[in-house]
Amino acid sequence: MTLNRLSGLFVAMFGLVVYFWVIPGHTEVDESGWLKPATLPNICMIIIIMAGIVHFVFPKGKAEFDLIFSRRVGLFFVLGILGLILMHLIGFILAAPVIVLVIMILVGERRPLWLVSGIILLPATLWFCIDF
């Protein structure tokens, strides 16, 4: 089995674990909103599972381990963990704009209009979809 197929299998299996155990176990049940709390995570996991299966069945290119790229992935993973901790400590409304700003700057976005839009519109839209 090639590294490409193995990565597709890993992604699909990860998606299945999150879909069947993590989301149901860590998402509250709320009937008051128009969008249920598990809807967006479930949609994302279905897309990830399908992408992993497609990648397993139809691998493309050559998979190689790149240390510089892996360090960058690790940095974003650590930022995600720090973001969760920050949201736990000060709440989503205050933490989300900071997290979005840091990530946008790290991926190279420098246009002020896009930065302001990202730190205001994206968290506000997420908050609106989940909270109302």
Predicted pLDDT of residue 29: 80
Pair of tokens at residue 50:
């399908």
Ranges of H-type helices in the chain = 3-17, 23-26, 39-57, 67-90, 92-106, 112-131
For 33-74, the pLDDT digits (tens) are: 777 888 889 999 999 999 999 999 998 877 677 888 889 999
| pLDDT tens digits, one per residue of 101-127 | 999 999 999 999 999 998 998 888 887
Structure-token pair, residue 65: 């381990």
Residues 38-62, buried b or exposed e (16+ Cβ, 10 A)? beebbeebeebbeebeebbeebeee
* 72-75, Cβ contacts within 8 angstroms, sequence gap of 24 or more: 75/106
